[in-house]
Structures are given as C-alpha cells and as structure tokens.
Amino acid sequence: MTHGHHRATPWPEARARAARAGAEARAAAGRPPVRVPLGQALGRTLAEPLRALTDLPSFDSSAMDGWAVAGPGPWTVREESVLAGHAGAAALAPGEAVRIATGARVPAGATAVVRSEHARTEAPAGSPADSPADSPVDPPADSPAGSPVGPPADSPAGTVLLHPLRAVVTGQDIRPRGQECRAGDELLPAGTVVGPAVLGLAAAAGYDEPAVLPRPRVEILVLGDELLTSGLPRDGLIRDALGPMLGPWLTALGAEVLATRRIGDDAEALYDAVTGSAAELVVTTGGTAAGPVDHVHRVLDKAGATLLVDGVKVRPGHPMLLARLDPGRHLVGLPGNPLAAVSGLLTLAAPLLAALTEEPAAAAEAPRAPVHDAVQGHPYDTRLVPVVHRDGTAVPLHYNGPAMLRGIAAADAMAVVPPGGAEPGRRLELLALPRPTETPSAQGACFT
C-alpha cells in the first residue's frame, strides 16, 4: 500500500471536510448580497426575506367578467365599461351597475360583482334590443326574496335594467385589496431557491431586482500536453472531454465560472495561474498523482497552501485533493480521467459549493433506492457507480471505468457503493446529477 493510500481520507469524511471548508470560506468572505435583474435570478438563492413591496392585490378588483353592482337589484346600467389596465369608473350609486372585466378595478360603492351568466338585461320598451327574451319576466325561483322585477319607480325612460338570476351576496367575486398580503409581509424566507413561481411572486410583489447570494467565482485549469480541442485523436493526442463538461457542471452547482483555461505540463505556468486567479475556487484537472509531470502538489507547496484532503478512499477518483490557498480561497484537484473527475466533482466540489452558496438542499439527506442488480465493490474503498431509475430501483450501468463517460452520460445519479459491494435490494445513497437524462436505451447504454 502506497504512502498516498495511507493518508487518503474516507469518502464520507472527505465530503464533510469539503462542506466545512465551504462554510468557513463563506464566513471569512462575508459575501454581501447582490441585486440582479429579475430575469437573471432564476436558480439563485434569496439573500434576505422576500417582503411584499405592495398590497396584493393592490386594489379591489373583479374576479370575473360581469357587472359591478351597488346594493340589491335590479340595477340601472351605466353606458360604460370598466377594463383591466384602465382608469376605474366613477363611484356607483345604490341601484347602479356597470360592465366590468376580470382584473379591472372595482368602482367605489360597488357591493358585488355579478357574473355575466348570472344576470340578464332588460332593454327599454320599443328599443331594437327589446324582444321576448329580453322582456320582463317573473323572477327565477332562486332570485332574492322580495326582489323587484320591474323598473324602479324613479327609473328614467329608456334605462337598461340588469336583473339577477340568483341571489347576490355582498362581496362576491371581488378580490379585496390585500387579500394575499399586505405591504411589508414576509412572503418567503432568506435561503429560498428562486424557481419560476418565486419569480412570478417577486414580480407581483413589486420587485425589479431581488437580493440574492453572490455566486462563488470558479476558474477551471485543464492540464496536459496531450489534449486536443478539436478534431479526431491522433499521434498520441486525445480530445479534451473535461473542458466542455466542467464549466456547465459547475454552473449547475451554483458557481460563476470565470474561465476555462488550458495549460500544458508546465509547473511555472500552473503556479502563475493558481496564485494569480481571482476565483474563490480553482479547479484543476489531472496532475494530482506522483508522475513526472504531475505538478499540482509541488505548486501547492510553493504557494503555501494547506492540504485539507490529499487522496480519497473512493473509486474512481482516488488521487483527488482539496487545498486551502488563502482564507476564503480553495483549490479542488480533480483526476484527469473523465469519470474519475466526475467523482471528484461530486465528492469535493459539490459539497464545498453548496456550503458556499448556503444551498438548503446541502443539509438534506441524500435519497436512497434499492439497487436492482448486484454491484461489485472495492475491498477497502467506496465506489461510485452510474445508475438509472427503473421501477423504483437503481439499475447500475456498464461503461463505468475511470476513463469512460458513456455510462455517466446516460445516468440519472451516481450510487454510493460501500466497500465490499452491494447485493440486489440493498438501499444505496444516490448522488444527483445536475441534469435529467433520456432513457438509457435511447443513449445506447448497457446494463451490468
């Protein structure tokens, strides 16, 4: 057993150390809130309670298309309409009615809104609109007892009358001002993640720029002379799979990715990039082992960094590391193999960023599911295996070697397999991936 394996950290403890490092960095930095345009707040975390800036609704409004009425019917109809988004009508006197649209301001003096289908109009005698269907009739059986059915004695000739077809209750179909909240009410607590419904609520409550937590700034350094950025592999060179993958993945974890830079196997260039970065988290790929061009440890020593995790008892991804560069600044060193790098993201970067962003889900217990098939484990280390959900179980995927991405590209989650493996039916912890996937069959995945 190598010296590196002796000092490797058990997988659960490595994640706990990463979370503590993120919490300490957040406390050290202070991280004051920032205000962002409403359209840019999706996925961010509220830095302060969302308090209503106005009453909701901000005025008495109609809940239905119909008639705003004052007092008991029948009512004389005013020759105007009240529309949403327009100035309100003059106050209604008792016995008056006015056409009103859904969402329009209810005139002062109105006691109810009568839906269009719950009333009928009576045109003046001799008018073109006057017909048997519009003529006065006996009141319906459910009309208010004692309601008059003819024009009021003082109604002027030619007045259009509105008759109720059912009992009218004071306040019906009126949304009163402040029904949902009053200005100053707390609508959501700080720490709420902004989803689409939160955006709608914030807009309705009067916000243009809600206060959210700043995103941790991350810089990605992709290391290696052997990497191509385009074309087919050739002459011992391979395509860089991590550069295109890590930025979106870290963004999904709540980071603001400043840049993805490619650096050859050059210790001085790496030192300059690490020490000169403005990011709160530097993520490197490769160079964490003890090979002739693995410079990360030497660069960290030269920079005076403190190693918090130097190797993790997990497969794939054993040679990952976490170091504190300065108070509030860290480096996560990922292995160079693609699936091993994903393991490092989930093990060290995800809990650190969750703590930095105060993500509420970070404290939640990870979901579990019974494994569908037996999973071979490592004798001593935790193993992370891509799985898909099927009929309430986690189905392990093939193509799960350290250098492979075919399995993880089709996966719904990574299952945490304890040392020694897992028999069918054992409930395993599942690490969520940052995006949903199609069914494995649609992506050509194979099952073990």
Supply the CATH number for residue 431's domain. 2.40.340
Residue 47 has pLDDT above 70, yes or no: yes
Tens digits of residue pLDDT in 356-372? 877 655 445 679 999 99
Q: Examine the domain organization and report whether 346 and 218 are in the same domain.
A: yes
- CATH code at position 113: 2.170.190.11
Residues of the chain above pLDDT 90, percent: 67
Q: For residue 444, is pLDDT > 80?
A: no
Q: How confident is the model at residue 139 (pLDDT cuts 50, 70, 90)?
A: very low
Instruction: Read off the tokens for 228.
Output: 């191509």
Are both 233 and 359 inside the same structural domain?
Answer: yes
Whether residue 172 lies inside any domain: the answer is no
254 and 312 fall within a common domain: yes
Q: Are residues 225 and 203 in the same domain?
A: no
Placement of tokens 């950025």 in the chain = 229
* Structure tokens given for 216: 């941790």
Report whether 56 contacts 205 (CB < 8 A): yes
Q: Which of 342, 363, 384 is the last residue of a domain?
A: 363
**Domain stops at, among 341, 363, 385:** 363
Is the pLDDT at 207 greater than 50? The verdict is yes
**In contact, 277 and 263? CB cutoff 8 Å:** no
* 170-174, 179-183, 358-362, 401-405: the lowest-pLDDT one: 358-362
One domain for residues 206 and 163? no
In a domain, 347, yes or no: yes
Confidence class for position 27, pLDDT limits 50, 70, 90: confident
- Clarify whether residues 148 and 199 are in a common domain: no
Query: Binning pLDDT at 50, 70 and 90, where does residue 133 land?
Result: very low
Residue 448, domain member (yes or no): no
User: Which stretches of 230-295 are assigned E, i.e. beta strand?
Assistant: 238-239, 256-263, 281-285
Lowest mean pLDDT among 10-19, 121-130, 188-197: 121-130
Same domain membership, residue 405 and residue 324 = no
Residue 104: phi, psi to the nearest 5? -75, 155
Q: Which residue segment(s) compose the domain that 386 sits in?
A: 368-443
In a domain, 174, yes or no: no
Evaluate if residue 209 carries a pLDDT over 70.
yes
**Is 203 a domain residue?**
yes
Q: 245 and 101 in one domain? A: no
* SS3 of residue 46 by DSSP: strand
163: enclosing H helix or E strand: strand 161-164
Domain boundary residue, one of 112, 136, 167: 167
In a domain, 266, yes or no: yes
Q: Are residues 395 and 255 in the same domain?
A: no
From 9-13, 140-144, 253-257, the region with the lowest mean pLDDT = 140-144
The reply to whether 81 and 188 lie within a common domain is no
**221 forms bridges with which residues in the sheet?**
261, 284
292 in a domain, yes or no? Answer: yes
Shared-domain flag, residues 227 and 358 = yes
Q: Do 185 and 39 share a structural domain? A: yes
Q: How many domains does the chain have?
A: 4
Torsion-angle region of residue 421: left (phi > 0), alpha (psi -120 to 50) or beta? left
CATH code of 39's domain: 3.90.105.10
Q: What is the pLDDT of residues 57-112, one digit of tens each?
A: 999 999 999 999 999 989 999 988 899 888 777 899 999 999 999 999 999 999 99
Give the number of C-alpha atoms closer than 13 A to the C-alpha of residue 327, restricted to the C-beta side: 4
pLDDT at residue 438, rounded to an integer: 35
